[in-house]
Amino acid sequence: MSTDLVGELLAAGALPAGHAPAFRAAPRERFVPDRIWYRHQDADIAVDRTAEPEHWLSAVDSDRALVTQFDDGATAWPQVGRVPTSSASMPSVVAGMLRALEPAPGRAVLEVGTGTGWNAALLAELVGPSGHVSTVEIDPAAAARAAALLGGFPQVSVLSGDAAEELPGGRFDRLIATAGLRRLPHSWVQRVVPGGVIVAPMRADMASGPLVRFVVGADGVARGRAVPDLQVAFMDLRAQRTPALDLRGLRWDDESADRSHTDLAPWVPLLADDHRWPVAVALPGCRSQVWPATGQRPGVAWLVDPGSGSWASVVADGSRYAVRQSGPRRLWDLAESAYREWQARGAPPMSAWEWVVTPQRQTVRLPGE
């Protein structure tokens, strides 16, 4: 990573001054593959370092995420695949996650999601020769590439495997995940010493969530709050992926569904991330989709629970909105109730929510619930 970008991150307050030497000692360009994609004006741009070295370096030295794999490797460069499945995160996000993690010399750190290996190299610089970094990567090719690049860091061990099923031996002072989680596995919590810290991007079935900083208690329970002022978006942990929402066989105007009306525009709680979060928490297992209006039909807001077969559709109907619901879960009723309760409490920000992970369950709640 260029000195200019390090300086920009320092000036913006994104990079702690004490971490700057690590970012200079382990530059990003040493770990990013020669062939990458980056997002520019709603398009994915493919860049080959050999053919366009200056273009490649400009992308690497920018504060942007770089996609290194689509569709678990099934899509070959330069084709753009359906779903990004591996990337080099934005440097500002990497810096913010390391700030929240607080690695220090002599610490033992577990990383879930090695990716390019850059974050493991930064961790190695921060924990120093007396510390240790264990990093787990599910993709064998990515793990092998990262292990080769990390050969100059003797305090780093790379494990090729699924962190949802296996972890390196021992206990750790810190754990950092670079994949989105719907649930923080308690098996991970058990591997962190009391007083230790876990930093992980948390989400729900219906919405992306925040980066959460957990502290593990002496009782083995992890309690966490969102890291303020840091927006993150990570690919899902493979073991927690959900299939794409399939609306085939459903009709928004199904006459057999129960009908009612609402004054709440469905786009308000379903399109904006900060508004969707309380609905997502209240409707585990549920998915949403919004269809724009066409010449053949109105705009439709969908809520679907694949597990129970329940669904709801909401469309404009004059000055109000027509609601259709089917199945054992009254999805729109639950969604509207959760949203209005959140509003009645003053629309608390994401940082107000608390995560609690016990051996039995994970809860997400607002104080006082």
Look up residue 290 and give its amino acid: V
Spell out the residues 6+ positions from residue 318 whose beta carbon is closer than 8 angstroms to its own. Answer: none
CB 109 within 8 Å of CB 176: yes
CB 98 within 8 Å of CB 122: yes
How do strand 310-317 and strand 172-177 relate by DSSP bridges?
unpaired
Whole-number Å distance between alpha carbons of 259 and 168:
54
CB 87 within 8 Å of CB 60: no
Size (the chain), residues: 369
3-state helix vs strand vs coil in the chain, percent to 5: 30, 30, 40
Buried b (16+ CB within 10 A) or exposed e, 267-302: eebbeeeebbbbbbbbbebbbbeeeeeeeeebebbb
Write out the catalytic residue numbers: 87
Closest CA to 332 of 306, 307, 302, 299: 302
User: What value, to the nearest 5°, has the Cα angle with vertex 289 and ends 210 and 239?
Assistant: 55
From its phi and psi, is residue 42 left (phi > 0), alpha (psi between -120 and 50) or beta? left
